[in-house]
Structure 1
Amino acid sequence: MKKVKLLAVVSSLMFIFLAACQSNEPTSIKLSEVTRSLFYAPQYVALEEGFFEEEGLDVELQTAWGGDKTMTALLSDAADIALVGSETSIYVYAQNSRDYAINFAQLTQTDGTFLVAKEPKPDFTWEDTKDSTFLGQRKGGMPQMVGEFVLKKHGIDPHADLDLQQNIDFANIPGAFVSGDAEYVQLFEPTASTFEKEGKGHIVASFGEESGHVPYTVFMTKQSFIDENKEVVEKFTRAVYKAQAWVQENSAEDIAKSIQPYFEDTELDLLAASIDRYKAQNSFATDPILDEEEWNNLKDIMDEAGELPADVPYEELVNTEIAEEVISD
């Protein structure tokens, strides 16, 4: 009898020990980013500075290279969380999806592209783009919609006043600009600054400064994932918020050193200059809350481009409760 009792006690202790070990194991998260961009610096800071790790998360980052591919990964469960433009959640909603993609943590709050001219334009005005060959972005994507919005704001009809080319895949746009006859192009950093340094182009304007605050890049996940893993989403959001604070508190040089492993082919000083450019125009969100004014600005931009499939209420696709809880902790 004593032997049986002893075995029972040992078994119970082993069960408790194993349960404790399992509870300390990090939770794996598959994160899909729409592209690899310096624009997403706070995300890489969260990874490199250990903020996800502090929250007990093991984040596996994958790059999808395109909004449609990113959303496909999310909706097919190839990714748990996606970093992509909020417009994609509206497209999914309009397709009568039963499991919506919910925006829960904002990362960037302006457009991240710059207008790059092939030739120097020291006295550039937007009027200079008229009758030019303009290498645009993917139809229906945020860079293209913001580009059209800004051009129209300056009295330029992008489809009537420009030779607008939109037949190049996102990843191939920089190369097509260098080898082709386009006079203007929209580029993210650090590509824009790299081209300027190498004499391949010249930054003449910022679309982020011209278009105002929008939920340009946001972490989103399916409603079902939030329902089943709310604590995990809270931990993820807390790590993002820590990274946002770190980015605000540290210099462009320190941020560049932190995230350089994600941009090994770019020199440190060029990374720092690009980050400084984004910080100067307040591109990085200071907290993860996506507010209603930004959402409405997004819809206005989509509507102006003829790409708004439905007037989606803010409450339908935006969850601020998690971010608000994290900030109030």
Structure 2
Amino acid sequence: MSHKMDRRQFGASAGASLALLAGAGRAVAQPLRKVRFVTPFNFSLSYASVFHAKVAGFFEQEGLDVEVINGKGATTAAQLVIAGQADLARTGGANYITSRVDAGAPLVSVATIAQISPFYMVSSPDSPLKDAKDLTGKTIGVASLGGSMEGTLNLLLRGGGVDASKVERVRVPDVAASYGLIQAKRIAGFMASISSLVKIKAAIPEVMTFPIDDGIPGQVYVATPQAYAANQDLYVRFLRAEYKAINAILKATDLEPIVRGIGKAFEVPGIDDIKTSISDLKQNAETWTAKGPQNILRNVPEQWAEAEKVMNGAGMLKGSVEPTALYDNGARDKAVA
């Protein structure tokens, strides 16, 4: 016996089926995993790859709800990870190696975001600082005492044969406004990130600068070994999302929409100056690919071996360490595969 279904019955049946499927979808949907990421300093386009991964939805695609925390110094950022208050922090390579070797900090580098130092020395054209020797007897500003900037400064001084005790350090913000302290003769110069440097040059084209290439991995992401081992998939997903963001930025023919999107989501000082911000983003992106596009986010073994050698040779470390013990590329390699 056949049974014919009229339109009303068919519609009711189909609607019920769709409702059931929708309910099943909601039942199996997993909540986003909360991840806390700490920057070492105030928000800037130095962190554009993380910002864009958040804005473009790449983190959400990986099942992550990433909170980007405005840091108060590289050392503090790392301490938050050690204390279990953050999953991942960005810090300077030299600062991380020193804390790991000398203080036994329970950290491991899971990725290198800036393959070279993102720092520059800034001074006045009236009293220019051209190299390490010019810093003798001067007062130099750094964003945090004992942090990654000061570690880079120490390497610069040692490499230039300058007695570090002859250079006074004071804490100044890593912002373009700090140039006013030079003009007021309170400091001879200060170390600035690329983002601050771009803004200073836009306002004062004649400003004197020189790059600080210390041969050390510039900026790295650190986690505790315990958290990394227990939740490696979390770090894979984080790095996969950021890798997508990096490639989107590198391939973009017009960076203005990306800059504006970041500006709407994050309070980045000066980001409304689109032309300067685009230049800022481009220069930061160069540090991501400084060792070649094949090494994006990678802890490059040869560079880490050289870093340990340089820092030990400069007397900056109290002991020696096997360079391969300082990092792990497992999550990064899975993320970019």
Q: TM-score range by the shorter chain?
A: 0.7 to 0.9
The alpha-carbon deviation at position 58 of structure 1 amounts to 0.3
RMSD between aligned alpha carbons? 3.4
Once the two structures are overlaid, the 10-residue window that deviates more, 57-66 or 178-187, is: 178-187
Q: Give CA-to-partner distance per residue, 1:189-215, whole Å, 9 cap, x none.
A: 3222322333397143222xx334x32
Q: Distance in 1 between matches of 2:202 and 2:48?
A: 21
Q: Distance in 2 between matches of 1:144 and 1:103?
A: 20
- C-alpha spacing 1:171/1:196, structure 2 compared with 1 (3 Å): closer
In the alignment, structure 2 segments of 5+ residues that lack a partner are: 1-20
- Aligned length in residues: 305
After superposition, what is the alpha-carbon deviation per residue over 1:274-293, rounded to whole angstroms, capped at 9, x for unaligned?
23333456666742210222
Q: Do structure 1's residue 63 and structure 2's residue 66 form an aligned pair?
A: no
Corresponding residue number in structure 1 for 2:243? 241
Match of 1:80 among 87, 93, 100: 87
d(CA) in 2 for partners of 1:16, 1:314: 50
1:121 and 1:216 mapped to 2: Cα distance?
28
CA distance in 1, matches of 2:150, 2:119: 10
Counterpart CA distance in 1 for 2:161 and 2:302 is 26
Counterpart CA distance in 2 for 1:19 and 1:71 is 38
In 2, Cα distance between the equivalents of 1:131 and 1:18? 65
**Correspondent of 1:299 among 304, 308, 324:** 308
2:47 to 36, 40, 60: 40
Separation in 2, partners of 1:67, 1:271: 23
Cα pair distance change 1:73/1:190, threshold 3 Å: same
User: Quick one: which of 131, 136, 143 aligns to 2:149?
Assistant: 143
When structure 1 is superposed on structure 2, of 251-260 and 64-73 the one drifting more is: 251-260
Instruction: State the AA in 2 paired with 1:88.
Output: Y
Give, in angstroms, the shift of residue 106 of structure 1: 1.7
- In 2: Cα distance, 1:244 partner to 1:310 partner: 36
Distance in 1 of aligned mates of 2:280 and 2:103: 37
Q: Which residue of 2 aligns with 1:190?
A: 195
| 1:286-325 map, 5 Å | 286=293, 287-303=296-312, 306-325=315-334
Q: Distance in 1 between matches of 2:135 and 2:80?
A: 39
Q: Gapped runs of 5+ residues in structure 1?
A: 1-12
Would you say 1:272 and 2:281 are equivalent positions?
no
- Is the CA contact 1:40–1:108 (under 8 Å) kept in the aligned structure 2? no
CA contact (8 A) 1:30 1:79 kept: yes
> Residue 157 of structure 1 aligns with which residue?
162
Letter in 2 for 1:228: A
Q: Does 1:95 align with 2:103?
A: yes
Match of 2:252 in 1: 250
Computing the radius of gyration over CA atoms, which structure comes out larger, 1 or 2?
A: 2
1:246 deviates by 1.9
Q: How far off its partner does 1:131 sit?
A: 4.9
* Pairwise CA distance, 1:242: 1.2
In structure 2, what is the Cα distance between the partners aligned to 1:211 and 1:256?
A: 30
Amino acid at match of 1:75: I
- Identify which of 203, 225, 228 aligns with 1:226: 228
SS at match of 2:151: helix
Deviations along 1:88-125, one digit per CA (max 9) or x if unpaired, are 2651454345xx21211221111111221112689x84
Secondary structure of 1:77 counterpart: coil
Offset of residue 239 of structure 1: 0.9
TM-score w.r.t. structure 2 length? 0.76
CA–CA separation in structure 2 for the residues paired with 1:53 and 1:60: 12
Matched, 1:111 2:114: no
Q: Distance between the aligned counterparts of 1:253 and 1:178, measured in 2?
A: 33
